[in-house]
Amino acid sequence: MDPIRIAIIGIGKIARDQHVPAIRGNSAFSLAATVSPHDAGLDGVPHHASLDELLEQGPAVDAVALCTPPQVRYDLAAQALAKGIHVFLEKPPGATLAEVAALSARADKVGASLFAAWHSRFAAGVAPARAWLAERRIDKVSIIWREDVRVWHPGQAWIWQPGGLGVFDPGINALSIATHILPRPFFLKDATLVLPENRAAPIAADMLFRDTAGAEIHMDLDWRQTGPQSWDIIVETDAGPLKLSHGGAVLSLPSGTEHGEDIEYAGLYSRFATLIRGGRSDVDTDPLRLVADAFLRGKRETTDAFHD
């Protein structure tokens, strides 16, 4: 079977650090091209300044991975789908829920695969955590997701603009795990979003959810963390506590602790290949819906100006 010819659109940090190695490590794909108006691309790989240029001049591609900021992703995805090209959406899948729904409908219409790729769901501890929790009573959940924005997103102005999500850019990773491992749906009850006086998106958030059986889920997000970073989910159950740490890579159960390898993007591309070969899509918007609810219902507080 011939490999799937894929182009990466948007050659920033996440593309270079994660997408390129994952594609090159998966024999189901061949990296056919890159696209960016601001980057020279990769040695030995055809590069174009725009998707229009790629589609007009080649090489031919079967799929694209969109690693651009979410605010500009809809038009690129719609353009690719119109050509019957399969589309991988980096998280978050779009700037709004409505545009993701429109893309999903378009993909179904043209018979192309659309993949809303939540990389944290493929962390080593997530699948066993989901299986362990399936038969447990959930009493309480605590999510602590604190990191240093200057380390992970230096100088990225788009992330502070409307649609860029602010601290929910990393926070949505935690929600992608929680919506996947917890056995019941949950919804927002209260939220406080903290916005720097010079930014349009929050630098911190405190959120309270409740699942359909009444269990409370508290979420603490902060982009001002220095020193060790915190990416932890603790679930109190009738069989004792479960803890996912290091973004889901380490699972601690009453019976012991398991450490996993970094397999997130390898898992994503394995899933994308399976979807393409099977003629299916995977577009889960639950994590983005919870973020949208935070902006819809959350109270705003203003804090000191933030500068990189």
Residues annotated as catalytic (active site), given as ranges: 91
Where on the phi/psi map is residue 199: left (φ > 0), alpha (ψ -120 to 50), or beta? beta
258 with 128: CB under 8 angstroms?
A: yes
Long-range (24+ apart) CB contacts under 8 A made by 205-213 are: 205/167, 205/168, 205/171, 205/294, 205/298, 207/294, 207/298, 209/290, 210/186, 211/138, 211/182, 211/184, 211/185, 211/186, 211/187, 212/184, 212/185, 212/186, 213/138, 213/184
Nearest to 112 by CA among 272, 299, 306: 272
E strand segments, the chain: 4-9, 29-35, 47-48, 63-66, 86-89, 114-116, 138-146, 186-196, 204-211, 216-222, 230-237, 240-245, 250-253, 256-259, 299-303
Please give the structure tokens belonging to residue 26. Answer: 């998966």
DSSP assignment of 271-304, as one string?
A: HHHHHHHHT--B---HHHHHHHHHHHH-EEEEE-
3-state SS assignment for residue 13: helix
Beta bridge partners of 303: 196
Listed in sequence order, the residues at least 6 apart from 246 whose beta carbon sits closer than 8 Å to its beta carbon are: 231
